[in-house]
């Protein structure tokens, strides 16, 4: 199951634009997935805001998911320093090595 957090306008050579899904919708989508079936591992890519990162972390804690694969996607777009810092502080504690 998937929760989309961003849509990109891109081709094989460039990313032209990114539309971030509103945080409230991400939260609803995550709830729909987690309520439907057990989730053992979460794999993440592009998370565009500190609030989205907080929502994902909160959801993982609520559902007691202990395994996380971080696959960050920057696509040439720079994320704010606060978003990167939040990602490191909030999500990295859930990552699983090996």
Q: Write out the chain's pLDDT in tens, 98 residues.
A: 889 988 889 899 988 888 999 999 999 999 999 999 999 888 888 887 778 888 988 898 899 888 877 776 654 444 544 455 555 566 666 555 54
Report the number of distinct structural domains present in the chain. 1
Q: How many angstroms separate the CA atoms of 68 and 61, rounded?
A: 12
Do residues 35 and 3 lie in contact, with contact meaning Cβ atoms separated by under 8 Å? no
What pLDDT is stored for residue 36 in this prediction? 96
Question: Domain for residue 35, yes or no?
Answer: yes
Do residues 56 and 91 lie in contact, with contact meaning Cβ atoms separated by under 8 Å? yes
Question: Domain for residue 41, yes or no?
Answer: yes
What pLDDT is stored for residue 87 in this prediction? 54
Question: Domain for residue 28, yes or no?
Answer: yes
Q: How many angstroms separate the CA atoms of 15 and 9, rounded?
A: 6
Question: Domain for residue 63, yes or no?
Answer: yes
Verdict on whether the full-model pTM lies above 0.75: no
Start-to-end CA span in the chain (Å)? 23
Question: Domain for residue 1, yes or no?
Answer: no
Q: Which domain holds residue 63?
A: 6-94
């Amino acid at each position: 199951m998937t929760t989309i957090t961003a849509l990109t306008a891109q081709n094989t050579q460039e990313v032209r634009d990114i539309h971030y899904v509103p945080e409230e919708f991400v939260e609803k989508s995550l709830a729909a997935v987690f309520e439907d079936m057990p989730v053992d591992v979460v794999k993440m890519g592009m998370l565009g805001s500190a609030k989205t990162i907080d929502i994902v972390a909160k959801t993982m804690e609520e559902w007691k998911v202990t395994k996380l694969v971080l696959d960050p996607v920057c696509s040439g777009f720079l994320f704010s320093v606060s978003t990167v810092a939040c990602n490191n502080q909030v999500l990295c504690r859930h990552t699983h090595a090996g």
